[in-house]
């Protein structure tokens, strides 16, 4: 047996065993309670192969033999962790355009970003002046932020609808950008406040200033916000402030206290019938949902059980997510994406390995793109059998490929 065959045999045998052991452990914990699990935590014993396999992966890219390599070496997160820890970066602000085409950015709001367009498996580097991108909940409105302004367009690279010249927001990193469905207002989420932009103003709508503190500044952490799909409601929150429900002009109409420690994420159901909010503590968290007839006047106390809300999940620190017609897909700190419905029923789970930083889904809800802080973008097909026996999870998700956007490397690697 030559060196290539020896590496391949060990990689696949140990990879399959590791995935099988993890899946069995998780299934047991979910069914019987984690306190009843007495076995050892599975260990991936392939770390010593990581450098050799990464070298083979890079050679396959340079030789245009990636498809063959992928069939010989199913990808892994844990087994190549040393490379991910050193080279990883966030991939976020995923936006679906059409067919198999999306856009996204690498880097966080406080870092130098680069925007890309992915068409099938072809990556196109976009103008380096782009600092943030966003898309409306309906009507296919896109927004592009540069250092000077935000421009909204009808469709990607379509007719310009409006331009918002920065005043307060100049030189401030944008965490998230959501244009309204008509392109004439924009929700801008930053660590220096959450703003509502229109033709005449940059209105900071969160946090609420402390008028008794002369040194008060709107510096916030874990800033998060969203729009309802019909744009009637805005939700905002951050580490030190409860999630607040606002009307479309930024006036508060409800408040949702955290059921874990810190407000971290929020999302409306696709039909706006429910709002979910997540609060976190370290790597864990609690997600609750309230129905649409309770948005106005909501007053949910922190750490208090209530019939006013539904418990959606009691495990995940949610970093990103989206709503399909049937369920939410949420990405957490541990590297899982999970499908959960509005009643809190767990539909499926799928392990990617690193904290999930962004995702988008095709309009037909058949293709899912997910980015992680490992610097890896995963392209997945829903409702198709898994591709290999190294898959951790219980979902019917087929990974077509993953792209590796590592810091300080000009090459984008495909696996």
Mind listing the pLDDT tens digit for each residue in 151-163?
999 999 999 999 9
Where is 121: in which H helix or E strand? none
Where in the chain are the domains?
Answer: 3-72, 94-414
* pLDDT at residue number 369: 98
303 CB burial (10 A radius; 0-12, 13-18, 19+): exposed
Where is 336: in which H helix or E strand? strand 336-340
Regarding predicted confidence, which is higher, 232 or 212?
232
* pLDDT at residue number 81: 87
* pLDDT at residue number 402: 97
**Region of residue 107 (phi > 0: left; psi between -120 and 50: alpha; otherwise: beta):** left
* pLDDT at residue number 1: 61
CATH number belonging to domain 94-414: 2.130.10.10
pLDDT, the chain, mean: 96
Residue range 258-283: mean pLDDT, rounded: 97
* pLDDT at residue number 217: 87
Output the DSSP codes for 152-202: EEETTTTEEEEEEE-STTTTPPEEEEEE-TTSS-EEEEETTEEEEE-SS-E
* pLDDT at residue number 95: 98
According to DSSP, the β-strands at 336-340 and 328-332 are antiparallel
* pLDDT at residue number 265: 98
> What is the per-residue pLDDT across 372-414, written as a single tens digit (0 to 9) for each?
999 999 999 999 999 999 999 999 999 999 999 998 888 999 9
Task: Report the C-alpha gap between 356 and 3 in whole angstroms.
Answer: 35
Burial 163-199 (b: 16+ CB within 10 A, else e): ebebebbeebbbbbbbbbbebebbbbbbbbbbbbbee
Helix 50-63 crosses helix 3-32 at what angle (to 10 degrees)? Answer: 110
Tokens of 217: 């500044």
pLDDT at 196 over 80: yes
> What is the per-residue pLDDT across 20-40, written as a single tens digit (0 to 9) for each?
999 999 999 999 999 999 999
Residue range 287-295: mean pLDDT, rounded: 98
Min mean pLDDT across 76-80, 249-253, 355-359 is at 76-80
pLDDT at 137 over 80: yes
């Amino acid at each position: 047996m030559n060196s290539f065959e020896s590496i391949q045999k060990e990689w696949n045998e140990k990879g399959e065993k590791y995935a099988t052991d993890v899946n069995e452990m998780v299934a047991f914990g979910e069914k019987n309670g984690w306190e009843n699990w007495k076995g050892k935590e599975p260990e991936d014993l392939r770390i010593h192969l990581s450098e050799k396999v990464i070298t083979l992966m890079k050679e396959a890219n340079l030789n245009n033999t990636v498809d063959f390599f992928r069939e010989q070496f199913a990808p892994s997160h844990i087994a190549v962790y040393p490379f991910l820890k050193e080279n990883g970066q966030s991939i976020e602000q995923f936006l679906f355009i059409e067919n198999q085409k999306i856009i996204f950015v690498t880097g966080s709001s406080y870092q130098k970003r680069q925007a890309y367009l992915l068409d099938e498996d072809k990556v196109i580097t976009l103008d380096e002046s782009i600092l943030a991108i966003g898309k409306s909940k309906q009507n296919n409105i896109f927004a592009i932020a540069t250092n000077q302004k935000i421009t909204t367009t009808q469709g990607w690279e379509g007719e310009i609808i409006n331009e918002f010249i920065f005043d307060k927001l100049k030189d401030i990193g944008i965490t998230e950008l959501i244009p309204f469905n008509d392109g004439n207002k924009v929700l801008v989420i930053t660590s220096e406040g959450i703003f509502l932009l229109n033709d005449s103003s940059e209105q900071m709508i969160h946090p609420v200033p402390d008028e008794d503190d002369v040194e008060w500044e709107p510096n916030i952490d874990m800033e998060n916000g969203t729009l309802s799909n019909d744009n009637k409601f805005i939700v905002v929150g951050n580490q030190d402030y409860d999630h607040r429900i606002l009307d479309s002009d930024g006036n508060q109409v409800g408040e949702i206290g955290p059921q874990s420690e810190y407000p971290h994420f929020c999302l409306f159901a696709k039909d706006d019938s429910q709002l979910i909010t997540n609060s976190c503590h370290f790597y864990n968290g609690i997600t609750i949902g309230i129905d649409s007839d309770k948005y106005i006047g909501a007053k949910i106390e922190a750490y208090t059980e209530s019939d006013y809300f539904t418990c959606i999940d009691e495990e995940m620190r949610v970093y990103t997510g989206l709503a399909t017609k049937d369920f939410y897909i949420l990405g957490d700190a541990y590297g899982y994406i999970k499908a959960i419905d509005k009643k809190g029923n767990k539909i499926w789970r799928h392990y990617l390995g690193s904290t999930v930083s962004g995702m988008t889904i095709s309009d037909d809800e058949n293709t899912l793109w997910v980015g992680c802080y490992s610097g890896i973008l995963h392209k997945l097909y829903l409702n198709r059998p898994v591709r290999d026996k190294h898959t951790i999870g219980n979902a019917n998700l087929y990974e077509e490929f993953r792209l590796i956007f590592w810091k300080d490397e000009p090459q984008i690697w495909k696996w």
